[in-house]
Amino acid sequence: MSFLDGKNILITGGTGSFGKKMTKRILEYSRPERLIIFSRDELKQYEMAQEFPDSQYDCIRYFIGDVRDKERLYRAFRDVDYVIHAAALKQIPATEYNPFEAIKTNVIGSQNVINAAIDQRVHRVIALSTDKAANPINLYGASKLCADKLFIAANVYAGRNDTNFSVVRYGNVVGSRGSVIPFFLKMRKTGVLPITDPRMTRFWITLEEGVDFVLQCLERMVGGELFVPKIPSAGIMDLAKAITPDAKIEVIGIRAGEKLHEVMIPRDDARNTVELSDRYVIKPQFRYFDRRFANNDGKPVPEDFEYNSGTNPWRLTVEEMRELIKNLEQGQGSNE
């Protein structure tokens, strides 16, 4: 990651699980001039500062701020080379009940990030998306789809300014806050696991894999791409067996805003998608962007292609899921 050496990097939502792992990765493998942690929670910043003390990491700066606050972003983005935009409201039930707040952060906040980055001449901005943004059926997914569109179109707004924007979209992160794995680990003590639907499948990626993929895309991006990694799927019943094979299964039904299978590339985007060895790239539909991709490798996917967790040929076995969960538990124990 030598491309980050001597650069000024800013992570929005930097005190979250992704931001902390990204910070650790950057500090392990590069020597940035400044690494700015931008978030709105001073307690989390204080706790993160204990994990990354000034005496050892003198390049870190902590900025209290909210992506809703455009003026604060303008101040924070001054002389910044790269922005990794991870700030978002993500909990589906909370965003369904508080939709105005989700729009303020996920949509208006993204617009603020874009305007500040262009005007402060940030070189590259990469934004985190979600599988919920493809064919969305809940407000969180809809707000993230809107944000994706904003970041892709931002390359047009930048004009002749040397600011490029791209998006990374991936699936469920193993062990992330609010995900099913920590919930199942908690419930296994009771001997009963509530399952929404036995047919349900999801894409899975570890936090480390997600961070590494974002950094690879940040280095390779030309602006306007939506990157999707090739990752495995797993069925909910296999996950339940991996956690506690003897548990009683209680089927409770799909919750509001939930899908049976997740999609990361809808069929309607196939015409703009190319496949590489480890990822897919959805190219922008602006025809005057074609020259940006003239030297890019990749082959077009079939016209009826859809990247769906239910039809994904790469499926995790029960044993592979068990190994992932074991590594997760060991990692959590080492952080306590």
Could you give the CA distance from residue 167 to residue 265 in angstroms, rounded to a whole number? 13
- Please provide the size of the chain in residues: 336
CA nearest to 146, candidates 110, 181, 182: 110
CB 274 within 8 A of CB 301: yes
- Euclidean distance between CA atoms 277 and 120, whole angstroms: 35
**Catalytic annotation present for 24:** no
Rg (CA), the chain: 20
d(CA 220, CA 142): 27
Phi-psi region of 190 (alpha: psi -120 to 50; beta: other; left: phi over 0): alpha
Catalytic residue among 7, 20, 90, 132: 132
Place of tokens 């989700």: 102
Structure tokens at 267: 């069929």
Total Cβ atoms within 10 A of residue 126: 23
Chain CA centroid to CA 228, Å: 10
Residue 27: CB atoms within 10 Å? 16
**Helix (H), strand (E) at residue 323:** helix 318-335
Contact (Cβ atoms closer than 8 angstroms) between residue 72 and residue 46: no
CA distance 176 to 207: 8
Can you say whether residue 159 is alpha, beta or left, with left for phi > 0 and alpha for psi between -120 and 50 degrees? left
Catalytic residues: 132
